[in-house]
Amino acid sequence: MRSRALLFACAFALAARAQSLSHKVTLPADSPVTLMAVDWGGTDATARGGAFFVDVRASLSLRNSSQKRVRAITFAVLSQEVTPGGKGSVSVPSLDVAPGDVFPVGIDLRLLRSIGGGAAVEVKLDGVLFDDLSFFGPNSLQSRRTMTVWELEARRDRQYFKKILETAGGKGLQDAMLDSLSRQADRSWPGMQMVRGRATVTDPERELSFAFLEMPDAPIQATNGIARISGSEARAPRIEIRNRSERPIRYLEIGWIVKDQQGREFLAASLPAEVNLAPGRSGQVAQDAALRFPERTSIQAMTGFVSTVGFTDGSYWIPSRASLNDVRLRRVVTPSPEEQRLTQIYQKKGLNGLIEELKKF
């Protein structure tokens, strides 16, 4: 009887241990942002079946303790129990935080962990981007590149909407907002799986060529490309590219659009590549990855377009608004975070609120 009671108590203790959760936010001593407060309310680990959900809900209150305006920030979310893929991040783009100001960052993630593995979560600063495009942080998640591209898109889009306001007035700006909202609502997306490395293929395969959207101002020209198609899976894309600029290129991203049997097009994925491409040189980028679409999807055509180019001097090229006005890109490419933020402001505060916001930049 005593041994049974002891075992019963042990079971409770183990269950209780499985639900305990430790969490912390890590900022370096000379971080340009200071943690003023953190509220972990709502963060817990709940055992369900053979696993438990770790809901990470944190509200961080940060102060910009640098002398520059903060434009974006990224935190890595790590679990101490390392899994092959257990790394995430939370980024907040389109900020405009003046020195000394306080701003919030919300973190809302759900991790599913196996019972017995423990639950410890660390939120660690990966990078801060400033208005002069300088950067602070370990950059272990390449957040510098990502946030720099977002900031360039933000500047491009704000300029675009300001120009509309200048040339077509409030009515023109309103039409542009409604157009953007309509595109955001219309965007369809069937869901997808992505597998890295060689996937096992049992169905017959065929080669399908990429068509490429012409973007005359892009420093990279994609000239040729194929992927292997098997049922609703596309894998092993290979694309030939040429550097038609006068500067050496070290990074590029190609958007991969897929068309199904019903003629619906959607942006399936991006194909990033670190390259070393001198002016005038050509190269080939290849990826050992597979995209799987729902079983009812039959891939009929693929289109590629150059979406980002990084030069060795650290600068980037992104498509202009004129290029993005291509009929197909308008349907498939998501508006930038800044454009989405501006449409939110328009929805909440109306046209005048939007105009006031645009005047700040």
Partner 1 sequence: MRGKAHIPETTLALYVPGDLPLWRRALVRLHVARCAWCRQMVDVYRSDRARLREIAAEMPESVNWNKLAAEMTANIHVGLAAGECVAPRRRKQVSVGWRPAAAMAGLAAVLVCAWWLNMPSNTTQELGRAFHAILTGRGGVNTFPARDGRGLVVELSSSGIDLRENGSLVFGVSQDQAKLVDVSASVQGSASARYVDDKTGQMTITSVYAQ
Partner 2 sequence: MSEAPGFTRYDAVALSTEQQNRFVSQNLRRVFLLIYRIVGNVPDAQDLTQEAFIKALQRQDQLKDLDKAAHWLSRIASNTAIDFLRRSGRVSFSDIEEMPEPFASSPDDSPEQLLLRAEHREHLESALGVLTDRERTALLLRDVEGMPADEVAERLNCSKATVRSHIANGRVKLRRFLERRKT
Write out the residues near partner 2 by the rule CB under 8 A.
138-139, 144-145, 240, 248, 250, 272-288, 310-314
> Of the candidates 341, 351, 355, 358, which one interacts with partner 1 according to CB under 8 A?
341
Question: Does position 193 bind partner 1 by CB under 8 A?
Answer: yes
CB 216, min distance to partner 1, A: 25
Question: Minimum distance between the CB of residue 275 and partner 2, rounded to whole angstroms?
Answer: 5
Beta bridge partners of 70: 97, 130
184 binds partner 1 (CB under 8 A): yes
Q: Which is nearer to partner 1, 282 or 334 (CB)?
A: 334
Q: Which two tokens stand for residue 293?
A: 């679409």
Instruction: Supply the minimum distance, in Å, between the C-beta of residue 41 and partner 1.
Output: 12
Radius of gyration over alpha carbons of the chain, in Å?
Answer: 24
- The residue range among 173-181, 215-223, 225-233, 238-246 that interacts with partner 1, by the rule CB under 8 A, is 225-233
Among 50, 204, 216, 263, indicate the residue that binds partner 1 (CB under 8 A): 50
Name the binder of 33 from partner 1, partner 2, none, CB < 5-8 A by kind.
none
Q: What length does the chain have?
A: 361
Comparing CB distances to partner 1, the nearer of 39 and 108 is 108
Coil, strand or helix: which one is 299? strand
Nearer to partner 1, 207 or 274 (CB): 274
List phi, psi (to 5°) of 149: -65, -40
Using the rule CB under 8 A, is 215 a contact of partner 1? no
Q: Which is nearer to partner 2, 232 or 245 (CB)?
A: 245
Q: Is 231 in the site for partner 1 (CB under 8 A)?
A: yes
Residue 197 zone, left/alpha/beta (φ > 0; ψ -120 to 50; rest): left
Here's the x/- map for partner 1, 279-298, by CB under 8 A: it reads as: --------x-x-xxxxx---
For residue 172, the partner it binds in partner 2, partner 1, none, with Cβ less than 5 to 8 A by kind, is none
Beta strand 120-130 with 22-26 is: parallel
Q: Which residues contact 106 (CB under 8 A, 6 or more apart)?
A: 58, 59, 60
User: CA 252, CA 311: separation in Å to the nearest integer?
Assistant: 9
DSSP-assigned letter for residue 95 = -
Confirm or reject binding of residue 223 to partner 1 (CB under 8 A).
Answer: no
Please tell me the count of residues contacting partner 1 according to CB under 8 A. Answer: 95
User: Helices 143-186 & 337-359, crossing angle to 10 degrees?
Assistant: 90
Q: Which residues of 68-85 are buried (b: 16+ CB within 10 A; e: fewer)?
A: bebbbbbbbbbbeeeeee
CA atoms within 13 A on the CB side of 104: 7
Q: Which does 282 bind (CB under 5 to 8 A by kind): partner 2, partner 1, none?
A: partner 2
Of 268, 263, 274, 333, residue with least CA distance to 298? 263
- Please select the residue that binds partner 1; options are 271, 277, 329, 332, rule is CB under 8 A: 271
Single residue of 200, 263, 327, 359 touching partner 1 by CB under 8 A: 200
